[in-house]
Structure 1
Amino acid sequence: MSIPRLPLGPAIESVIDFLVDHFAFLTKAFSEVTGRGLEVLEASFALLPPWLFILLAAGLVWLVSRSRGVTFFSLLGLGLIWNLGLWPATLSTIALVLAATCLAILIGVPLGILAAMSRPLARCIMPVLDVMQTMPAFVYLIPAIPFFGLGKVAAIFSTVIFSMPPAIRLTCLGIRQVPPELTECAEAFGSSRWQRLVKLELPLAAPTIMAGVNQTIMLALSMVVIAAMIGAKGLGGEVWKAIQRLQMGNGFEAGIGIVIVAIILDRVLQKAGARWRS
């Protein structure tokens, strides 16, 4: 006796087709705004000569981290990327990561705050986050293509979906870890819910939220590399091109560039979070 197969795949395809047919105006608007914003960001980066961009980046790293080691590594790492001829691809990758991270944080942090304030909402969101964090990264490329086609906007969409869970989860965790004694004290002094959130809970939860931002950036960087399969270009595109052409040296050079960018972003955010805690 054979058990009938559940039509899960066709049902998902029907839902995606329905969304594409009836909400195309939203995807077109998102694609237009995001594409224009990304073009402006990349053009702004390209206006600066590489040596000036490297110096400004190192100065920004020093202001944020106050670490000589991280600043020196940033100078050497970005200089190596420039020397390897990967500068335009690196600027494209940085722009994609910044755009995707900003969108993920703008969506994820408010959702995390709402989940911390509402137990029923948290019970609904957390299982969804569990599924999102265990789903293979390549699966997120599938709905991006019918919604936005091939290109950088589809890459940003899939990157936002993939990298958003840590921002939601750690924001919710940070607010819930605020000692109840402080919350009760704020309520005793007549603080409103908004005042308690802005002046007490968010400042105390800031280190945990920063950890979520750090994880979001790292996931965004890893997903931007995978999204090269749907036209994201950048350093991920260089790796994908090297795989297709069996150019092992070029692939490792692009991979080293990705590692350098990831280390700089990770160390800067770690130092910034440590300074915030102190």
Structure 2
Amino acid sequence: MLIDSHCHLDFPELAADRDGVLARARDAGIDGMVTICTWVDKFDSIRAISEEHAEVWCSVGTHPHNADQELHIETADLVRLSAHPRCIAIGEAGIDFFYDNAPRAAQETGLRRHIAAARITGLPLVIHSRSADEEMGQILEEEVGQGPFPFVLHCYTGGLDLARTALALGGYISFSGIITFKNAETIREVCRMVPADRYLVETDAPYLAPVPHRGQSNEPAFVRHTAETVAAIRGVSLAEVGVETTANFYRLFRKAQSS
């Protein structure tokens, strides 16, 4: 029993064969998935997917790449839209200094608005952080100091210091197919270190397909390969990873239990 805590079922690579994608996920033992919003202005289409499929939940948020194009989205908008029964998270939002597709000031503004929405609603914030460990750690410490909020660092690519900071602040860490790549030893080290009650697995589909599917379009069924690698790294069974990550998912995404 596994849950793909982060995928993008609205993206063209998955939307073209969504019924097939969901069927293959069921066949692989994937009991649920969260289709993650990257444009608040497109939330209606994200929400519709979750309404049509009982195994799919959704989030509402603006990806950092789009931050400067959705500065009109206020915290109150996120709070209002997140009230939908199938919406169980805020995000994804964050900072990405690897691509720098949006001005850094806009990314930080958007992130702090999403943090405020997570704090108000109690819904977890799905955080995108890339090549910004120091800045992300500082923002998290500042914001948690103003009032706690639940969060997960999704598709973790950072170092040990950011992971320790996030865990100390009550956050969760989610591992994607990157953990199966040869050059991902630091991420595997983080995986060994994370407590059993603080980690999740995801695909970030259609991106980052794990070995043995690397180079292909990713899909929720492939989260099983990520979970198998996590199990090997942590020295436990795949079944144990399934039990732990499912329990962690429902503890973090509490609204999923009733939606």
Q: Which has the higher helix share?
A: 1
- Tell me the TM-score range normalised by the shorter chain: under 0.3
Give the structure, 1 or 2, with the largest relative contact order (CA under 8 Å, sep 6 or more). Answer: 1
Question: TM-score, normalised on structure 2?
Answer: 0.27
Larger CA Rg, structure 1 vs 2: 1
- Report the structure, 1 or 2, having the larger strand content: 2
TM-score (norm 1): 0.25
